[in-house]
Structure 1
């Protein structure tokens, strides 16, 4: 049996090294992360109105880093992440949210790639066979 082991970094969307870890949070934790982003002056604060309205339908929330957000001196301020939010019977929706490195590191990591696949694919719409 072969075990999967994540590399600690991978190229992000813009070629920068980003953490290769996917994090899992609840809908309420996503709201808290968005509020923290807003209070720290980050540009991507999630979608708080949509998130609040969708809490009851949320099946999973995954956070996937896509690029680094730095200050004028090049110091890392946040990881810009895609939030992949799967709603029961409605598919997966994504948007960006900036998360400080300390907050990101403290979040639970998804260790099994099947957990990611199940969260994103199980609830995605299935296309019927074409006639």
Structure 2
């Protein structure tokens, strides 16, 4: 019961992600830059999102691209970021990483062409809905008639 009361009183910090003077940027990362930021996050005792250092060492050579965006704050001097990795085999993954405001600002923005590509990859990732029963039956009839 005590845990439930404490949990209800806890308020996650909020950041207005989209709008004036907010961090809606999407940043590009190199593997080396991600390694540096991971070490910095791990060394800061006030930050809890340290990335995935073991995963990074294991998969560093198969990472095709890395992007990062803010989704919250970690104190006044750091952002809680989501890092998205696209691998050579086209698989994708993401994880959290705390990044200082200054380090985030110094990273290059993702070019518009890459943002469009990212949007397409996202949209193509939506699973298709099954056909309605009447549509399935019409499709079966069409296949039967074409099979002759």
**Going by fraction, where is helix more abundant, 1 or 2?**
2
Distance in 2, matches of 1:24 and 1:116, equals 11
Poorly superposed stretches of 4+, deviation over 4 Å = 124-128
Note if contact 1:78-1:100 (Cα within 8 Å) is conserved in structure 2.
Answer: yes
Give the match's secondary structure for 1:96. strand
1:48 to 53, 73, 83: 53
Match of 1:109 in 2: 109
Residue 62 (structure 2) pairs with residue 57 (structure 1): yes
Matches within 5 A, 1:71-86: 76-86=76-86
Structure number with bigger Rg: 2
Cα gap change, 1:106 to 1:126, in 2 (>3 Å) = same
Please list every run of 5 or more consecutive structure 1 residues that lacks an aligned counterpart in the other structure.
1-12, 71-75
Distance in 2, matches of 1:90 and 1:15, equals 33
Q: Normalising by structure 2, what TM-score? A: 0.65
Match of 1:8 in 2: none
Q: Normalising by structure 1, what TM-score? A: 0.72
Note if contact 1:60-1:119 (Cα within 8 Å) is conserved in structure 2.
Answer: no
CA-to-aligned-CA distance 1:55-76 (integer Å, 9 cap, x gap): 1111100001100111xxxxx1
**Going by fraction, where is strand more abundant, 1 or 2?**
1
CA displacement at 1:110 relative to structure 2: 1.1
